[in-house]
Amino acid sequence: MENNILDEYEYLVSDLLTVIGTLKIIHRWLDGDLDYYEFDVFKVQYADVLSLAIAYLIMLSNQHQHIVGRELKKTL
């Protein structure tokens, strides 16, 4: 049972690190560190990526709340 929650959190953390990495790349690009794309041409695609990253963070937060709620029910 304990391994199950550890596995769930391992996947959760891995997904979270992927989203954070995506946001770091976009941040560097917007700061001009990745200036090989024109902002006007690709701003829609980057806005889409940002929207998906934020939605994914919300989903990961909900997944975390579900895991915590389930484990709390087991202890009560």
**pLDDT tens digits for 15-65?**
999 989 888 887 777 776 666 555 666 667 777 888 888 899 999 999 999
What's the confidence (pLDDT) of residue 2?
63
Alpha carbon distance 65, 58 (integer Å): 11
Whether the predicted pLDDT of 13 surpasses 60: yes
| All structural domains of the chain with their residue ranges | 2-75
Whether the predicted pLDDT of 1 surpasses 60: no
Alpha carbon distance 19, 58 (integer Å): 11
What's the confidence (pLDDT) of residue 57?
92
What's the confidence (pLDDT) of residue 65?
92
23 neighbors 53 (Cβ within 8 angstroms): yes
Across 30-60, b (16+ Cβ under 10 Å) vs e yields eeeeeeeeeeeeeeeeeeeeeeebeeeeeeb
